[in-house]
Amino acid sequence: MGGNVASMSERSPAPGGLGLVEALVNTVDLETGADSLDTREGRARFGLTQDEVPAARELRESLRATLLAHAGHPPHRPVTPLGELLAAAPLVVAVDPADGSAALAPARDGSLAARVAAAVAEALVAGTWSRFKACEAADCHWAYYDRSPGGRGRWCSMQVCGARAKMRRYRAKGG
């Protein structure tokens, strides 16, 4: 079992619309290479057609690079900057006539990029965006919401990725 599978069950999902972003980033297990966007069910979860998968993967890896930056790590590989991808997804202010509440929403098509842009905007307003990170472990980079008191979390799972890192350090010291 990869570290990613264990971390899914032990951490609560990211708050608000970040749950969508977390689910997208975590569609691939870097340890095994399994990508749920290769399956009909995985694509259906995001309302994607087969033709939209390459753009979804590009968005996923740009998000991962951003989440790694939140955790203080360099990008895992060269990617299209997230801002460029989200710029093509215009948002509008949607106001609920019943209670007057307002939120940013996709301007027209409800594409995955537009839904991600709305989730990022919601997280910025809520102050949760910077706590949304990617695991430090190079074979993981799983997205997670850092609920640690100081916001200094490093791994998606202390019991899996954190324990592996500590064991590597211990062995390197000759322990």
Give residue 49's identity as a one-letter amino acid code. T
Task: Reply yes or no on whether the pLDDT at 9 is more than 50.
Answer: no
| Averaged pLDDT, 141-145 | 90
Task: Please give the Cα distance from 53 to 5 (Å, whole number).
Answer: 22
Task: Reply yes or no on whether the pLDDT at 155 is more than 80.
Answer: no
Other CB atoms within 10 Å distance of the CB of residue 33: 8
Task: Reply yes or no on whether the pLDDT at 5 is more than 70.
Answer: no
Mean pLDDT for the chain overall: 85
Tell how many helices (H) and how many strands (E) occur in the chain.
Answer: 7, 4
**Higher per-residue confidence, 161 vs 56:** 56
Question: Is residue 136 very low, low, confident or very high in pLDDT (cuts 50, 70, 90)?
Answer: confident
In angstroms, the Cα distances linking 169 to 20, 42, 129, 135, 162 are 34, 36, 30, 17, 11
Percent of the chain with pLDDT over 90: 59
Alpha-helical segments (H) within the chain: 3-10, 18-25, 40-45, 53-70, 82-87, 112-126, 163-172
- pLDDT of 170: 52
Handedness of CA 95, 47, 87, 122 (dihedral sign): positive
pTM of the model: 0.83
- pLDDT of 52: 96
